[in-house]
Amino acid sequence: MRFIDEAIIEISSGDGGNGCLSFRREKFIPKGGPDGGDGGKGGDINFVAKESLHTLQDFKLKRKYKAKNGRQGKGKNMHGGDGEHTILQVPLGTILINDETDEFLCDLTQPNEVYTPVRGGKGGLGNARFKSSTNRAPRKITEGTVGETLKVRLELKILADVGLLGKPNAGKSTFISKISSAKPKIADYPFTTLSPNLGVVKLNSYSSFVVADIPGLIPGASDGIGLGIDFLKHLSRVKILLHLIDVEKGDLKKIKQDFQGINKELENFSKELSEKEQWVVISKIDKISEEDRTNLEKEVQKLFSRKNVFYVSSLTGQGLKEVIKIIKNKLDSEKN
């Protein structure tokens, strides 16, 4: 299924039911009086955040949602039934925005969190409500109020602790598949990843963190070239960015160019995103000799003297445990 991270829908709550005009008519009771009941309340529209969902695909297929109307009141002072609520399940990290005014409505980040943007109309009053000492047979009722209608824009920003950056074929998909439960498509050509992948890294039965892999970035991405820029917003919530750089050819100049190129695109997209903590992960070190790696590490350390730098091979597993351990320590320290 194609990844969908934005949708615009129209939602309407139910109308309230009308009050009832009725008079009690029973044998041996000649003056029964008014007994019209009130109308029921219209149904609400409720959004509920679910961990099991990862796409807004359903909202691309259906664009309009209407809750049930409240029922009209009945005689014998019987209240009309309330309209059934409509529940719309969305992935964690879904943001709701008023599409007509651009007003921010809510950000659903907690499992089973509920938000009600439109509420059902109130039920009308039956004529029994208007009985008084001066009006024993009122013929007055009120109609239920009309429900609310809203055009809502849904935007999904993935909830993850760690985000993976890098050019196409930098090894991000293989990396996330080795350290987590994610099973992305892996192939030896650019743009293998066409949509974000989420992976849960489990250290033990009670400790874990979430990693997000987005499509690779290329120069000009912030101007619409390539795929990755469409998904950069998913990195806005992460605490750490892991910047994977392919070192297969052992070219220091290429490493520098790749790093600067990606960061230029980040800065063009969002200043906030470009200022997030970023660690450098030199990948595919199994492709170079020990001697070349020793010389390379000295130069890379000079180049990234103020950043955490790791050397990994997702193919052999070299360096992966160290990266995971340091990430977990960092995340734990931020919680305390």
Tens of pLDDT, residue by residue over 15-60, are: 999 999 999 887 766 667 899 999 999 999 999 999 888 788 889 8
Q: Which helix (H) or strand (E) holds 273?
A: helix 271-274
DSSP state of 317: T
| Residue ranges in the chain whose pLDDT is less than 70 | 1-4, 28-31, 181-196, 204-206, 216-231, 248-250, 336
Q: Which domains does the chain have, with CATH numbers?
A: 6-156 (2.70.210.12), 162-335 (3.40.50.300)
Q: For the chain, what percentages of helix, strand and coil (3-state, to nearest 5) are there? A: 25, 25, 50
Q: Tell the burial category of 243 from Cβ atoms under 10 Å away from its Cβ (0-12, 13-18, 19+).
A: buried
Q: Tell the burial category of 139 from Cβ atoms under 10 Å away from its Cβ (0-12, 13-18, 19+).
A: exposed
pLDDT value at residue 150 = 97
Helix (H, G, I), strand (E, B) or coil at 57: helix
| Cα 108 from chain centre | 7
Helix (H, G, I), strand (E, B) or coil at 8: strand
d(CA 108, CA 162): 19
DSSP state of 20: -
CB 313 within 8 A of CB 281: no
CB 279 within 8 A of CB 308: yes
Query: Which residues fall within 8 angstroms of residue 37, CB to CB, at 6 or more apart?
Result: 19, 20, 22, 73, 74, 75, 76, 77, 78, 79, 80, 126, 128
Locate 41 and state its tokens.
């309340």
